[in-house]
Amino acid sequence: MPISPFSAVPAGRIIYIPHQMLTILKYIALVCTFFIYTTSGVFSKLASQREFLSPGYIAFLACTVGVLGIYAVLWQQIIKRMDVSLAYMFKGTGVVFGLMLAHFVFGEAITSPSQAPVP
C-alpha cells in the first residue's frame, strides 16, 4: 500500500478519531472563528487611521471585508455541526480577544470602570 506524502498513515486507510476529540476540535474551531472575527476590528481601526480613500485605507478596508467573509463561512460551518445556542454562548470570547488585541496591537490601556477617567 503506498504511503501518503502528508502523513505516516498508508493511503486509503481511514483514521478513526474518537468522539471526544471531535468535540474538542469543534470548540477549538469555534474559539478560533471568534478570534478571526475580532481581527476585523483591528483592520477597521487601522483603516480609520489612514486618509480616506488612500491606498492604505482601501487595503485595510479590503482586509476587513475579507476577514468578515471568512468568518461568515466558518460560522455557518460551525452552526451546521453544533447547536446554535451552544455556539452562540461563546460569542463573549470575542470581547476578551478584542481587549487583548487592543492592548497588544495598539498599546491601549485596559482599565476597570473604577479606574476609568471621569469626564
pLDDT tens-digit profile of 5-37? 555 555 566 666 666 666 788 888 888 898 899
pLDDT value for 88: 85
Q: Write the DSSP string, 54-84.
A: SHHHHHHHHHHHHHHHHHHHHHHHHHHHS-H
The residue segments making up the domain with residue 68 are 24-94
For residue 98, CA distances in Å to 18, 37, 40, 41, 91 come to 33, 9, 10, 8, 12
pLDDT tens-digit profile of 70-111? 999 999 988 888 888 888 888 888 888 888 888 888 888 888
Q: Does residue 65 fall inside a structural domain? A: yes
Distant-in-sequence, close-in-space partners of 4: CB < 8 Å, separation ≥ 6: 10, 11
Overall domain count for the chain: 1
Q: Does residue 6 fall inside a structural domain? A: no
pLDDT value for 116: 60
